[in-house]
Amino acid sequence: MNLMRLIAVFAAVLTIALPATAQEWTVKVQRQIALMQDYPRSAVMRGDEGVARIRVHVLSDGTIGDVDLIQKTGSGILDREAIRMPNRVKHIPPPPDGQPHMVEIAVQFRLGSD
């Protein structure tokens, strides 16, 4: 696995209209989920790369609800990994307004040398 390098997991949520606390919460959730990324060994061996976009439904208590794949990578292995990532987060703080939120995240899978 030393040959692989994850270049970036970046957020794709338009936060311009959100209040500062909602923006901060969104960024925190995106970061927590991004830390859960793993590059499946089978995808590495096949040379699979791509960008998946997921939509994560966060319930009012901070529980992860549905996770939707809204853009495929072209690799079913990577798509499944992107969908699994949010459910690995141990704790997400509840949204600041106490209402359910949807957070969109772009997950980039890129192989490279370290």
- Across the beta sheet with 50-58, the strand order is 9-11, 101-109, 50-58, 64-71
The overall pTM is greater than 0.85: no
Q: What three-state secondary structure class fits 100?
A: coil
Mean pLDDT value of segment 1-22: 44
pLDDT in tens, 75-96: 999 999 999 999 999 888 899 8
* pLDDT tops 80 at residue 14: no
pLDDT in tens, 27-66: 999 999 999 999 999 999 999 999 999 999 999 999 999 9
Domain extent listing, the chain? 9-109
Domain 9-109, CATH number (from 3.10.110.10, 3.40.50.880, 3.30.1150.10, 3.40.50.300): 3.30.1150.10
